[in-house]
Amino acid sequence: MTGTTIAIRIAESIPAVPAVPMADVVEATSHWWAGFILWCPLISLVLCGLCAAFRVKSKLPAWITVLSLACSFTFTVILGNLEDVPERINLFEWIAVFWSDGSFVANFALYIDSLTILWMSFVTGLGTLIALYASEYMEPDLGKGYARFFAGVSVFLFAMGCLVMGDNLLMLYLGWEGVGFASYWLIGYYYRRPEAVAAAKKAFIVNRIGDLGLALAIYLIWATFGTIQYNELMTLLDEGTYATVYEHWSVEAIPYLLMLAAFGKSAQLPLYIWLPDAMEGPTPVSALIHAATMVTAGIYLIARMYPFFLLEPTSLHVVAWVGGLTALLAATIGMAQYDIKRIFAYSTVSQLGFMFLGLGVLTTYGASYHVFTHAFFKAVLFLTAGAVMHGFAGQLDLRKLSGLRRMKGWRIVAWTMFVGCICLAGFPFTSGYFSKDAILAEAFVTQGPGFEILGWIAIFTAFLTAYYTFRVWCRVCAGPVHFEPGDELHDDDHHDDGHDEGHGFHPHAPRFAINFVLVVIAAGALLASVPYFMTNEVSDIKGGWIADMVNDSTAASGIPGHAEHPGTIAHDHSGDHGHHHGSILGMDPHVAMYYISGVVGGVGLFLAFWLHLWRRQDADRLRSWLLARAWIRWLPVAMENKWYVDEVYHALVRAPLWLLGHIFHGFDRYIIDGLLVDGTARLPRLVAKWFQPLQNGMLQSYAITMAGGAALIALLMILMMQFFEGGGVQ
């Protein structure tokens, strides 16, 4: 049988297992019901679509979605409690092609390890709560876009499930594109607004660049290793079998391509520009997709494929530096913005930068833990911003809102926002404090090019984070009561006291669904620090429940105390390798970081309270002082203008493309159309113009022409007869 013969057969009839099966992956056929984690959102999508088709005017789509997502969450929790070894659950045959010396298998199967469970627990859990929040938030659109919105949320949850739970890279790719599409769908939800449409397009196009990296990486992985299933790949990497098929350039290229994909989806430095614009979508979408879950897909990808990155250590240095610089850049932009949602968007970019920094400095544990805590506190921050936007007719300018905590009905919003803020600021003993410190300390422990500088950059960023986070809270929630409504007044007002447009404006405080969700997620944000204190199952490692989770997954090599490290990277916790263990101020970085981070957070917080609560006029004075000095004036201006990154992109990418497009258009219009097509068509008309005067409508002129023509022909014949003597009539 030659290599070109390709036989497609059903997988059962052929041993599809690799040469050496991965010992600890269990084929769990009895757990087929885990598929319902995926099917529930899919069913919800179909039902929401029917609701849209039959123009349901009630909140039915919301309840369908909340119920189905709650089912997904329940199944996830049950699955998480059942087994803690990795297992495969085959749902159905999708693609299975075999030929004599290879195969391409991508079944619709689930790969469940603890990393999957960790991710799915907050994806489905927060998804349920945010859908519940949206049931109230989207009320003004009842009967219009309500079902469309919830259908989009269902699509997102299905795609995210595929991405996280898929057993192979093709399913991950399906989910990856699916979440991108859902994101486009939901950012462009208000499709009548040009900004929303532009933001949706921008998000989609920028993400495509990353998607290209992922597609190439998957192809390269298959070409190098002959499989794209996680368990087989990890077996090959564990045994070093890949050495036989080793082509060093491809193994070195894979991490960079995966990185490109991760940077696109998780909004890192070259490709972060789409995320702040994505805030044009409805706020629950910003909270769910663009803060808590989808943007962490990049972290998941790198954590899942971590062994590939360990093969090429330089790639991790790139990850760390890109993450650190993104964190700093986004934080400086966030400091100078006035739109609450935009500030939170930049803080998301910044926090994602921290997570990549964590991945880069070999702590998948820190990154995963930060993903977990960030999901809660960022969700609560966005949801409170949404409540404000909902109640104050779209007002999001922090200069035009003040004293929320003293207003009737707004206390829960103000204090849940406070909880979100202290977690984001990394105030001591909150969840953000522990998860961020796990990353920051590791930057000083791990040896790498300039990692120590990177650590100080991250600490400085943490200070900026504390400042800009509390800048929002002090402006909006504290201080004297004062507000100006925005310009999006709902015509279907559900207030009995009724407000006139403009002057008699009454902010409508959130009701039960929103308040309930805010309290639950805020409680979750506080309790997210609890896993840190849990005792570990494996005695060598520390870091609590999250560390246990990550330790049982493919990202295990980034756990504090985990023994297996490739020799190329110094990463020492156990101490028996005798590597240089970094230190700060003569202390162990993990201990020192508790103090440094606490102090830095406290200073940022104090600064925010001083400039934005106690003496607000000082903030204006500082601003005018800065703007009056020529040598420093560029700084606040550049920060307010987002470092002109959009303008740079415009000049470097958009303008050349625009010019090229116009050149092509001109060529097509004047050369192809004008010269070739129209030119050919003009030729017969030109000829016709010479003969046209003959058709003048006068009978006798026709007769003359005819007679003349006949005479001419006769003359010619006579002349020809004389010329060829002998022919003709004698």
Partner 1 sequence: MTLQLAVTFSQLSLSHYLVMSSVLFVIGLVGFLTRRNLIVMFLCTELMFQAAAIAFVAFGRYWYDFTGQVFVIFILTVAAAEAALALALVVLLYRRRSTLNADEWMELSE
Which parts of 226-339 fold into alpha helices (H)? 230-239, 248-265, 274-277, 283-287, 297-304, 306-311, 313-335
- Which token pair is 388? 């404000």
Nearer to partner 1, 245 or 704 (CB): 704
CB of 724 to partner 1, least distance (A): 23
Among candidate residues 466, 469, 441, 471, the one with its CA nearest the CA of residue 456: 441
CB of 692 to partner 1, least distance (A): 5
The minimum distance between CB 703 and partner 1, in angstroms, equals 6
Comparing CB distances to partner 1, the nearer of 699 and 719 is 699
Nearer to partner 1, 17 or 711 (CB): 711
Nearer to partner 1, 78 or 704 (CB): 704
Decide whether 630 or 699 has the Cβ nearer to partner 1. Answer: 699
User: Smallest gap, in angstroms, from Cβ of residue 715 to partner 1?
Assistant: 15
On whether the CB atoms of residues 240 and 293 are closer than 8 A, the answer is no
Beta carbon nearer to partner 1, 481 or 714: 714
Name the 3-class secondary structure at 293.
coil
Distance, CA of 151 to CA of 48 (rounded, Å): 5
Residues within window 686-725 making contact with partner 1, judged by CB under 8 A: 692-693, 695-700, 703-704, 707
Place of tokens 């368990």: 231
Q: What is the dihedral of CA 370, 374, 377, 380, to 10 degrees?
A: -160
The residue (of 20 and 704) whose beta carbon lies closer to partner 1 is 704
Strand partners, 104: 97
Smallest gap from Cβ 722 to partner 1, in A, equals 19
Closest CA to 556 of 272, 363, 294, 320: 363
53 is a contact residue toward partner 1 (CB under 8 A): no
Supply 472's token pair.
Answer: 């929002």
Amino acid sitting at position 201: K
Least distance in angstroms from the C-beta of 723 to partner 1: 23
Minimal distance, residue 693 CB to partner 1, in Å: 8
To partner 1, the closest distance from the beta carbon of 728 in angstroms equals 15
Count of residues near partner 1 by CB under 8 A: 11
- Burial of 539 (C-beta count, 10 Å sphere; 0-12/13-18/19+): exposed
Of residues 8 and 699, the one with the C-beta less far from partner 1: 699
Q: Which amino acid is at 306?
A: Y
Nearer residue to partner 1 within complex by CB, 7 or 703: 703
Measure the CA–CA gap between 304 and 407, rounded to whole angstroms. 46
List binders of partner 1 among 455-494 (CB under 8 A).
none
Instruction: Provide the minimum distance between the beta carbon of 696 and partner 1 in the complex, in angstroms, as a whole number.
Output: 5
Show the tokens assigned to 482: 């004062």
Q: How far is CA 442 from CA 114, 237, 559, 560, in A?
A: 23, 25, 11, 9
- The pattern of x and - marking residues 642 through 681 that bind partner 1 according to CB under 8 A reads ----------------------------------------
DSSP designation for 9: -
Measured at the alpha carbon of residue 421, what is the angle toward residues 419 and 427, in degrees to the nearest 5? 85
Q: Which residues bind partner 1 (CB under 8 A)?
A: 692-693, 695-700, 703-704, 707
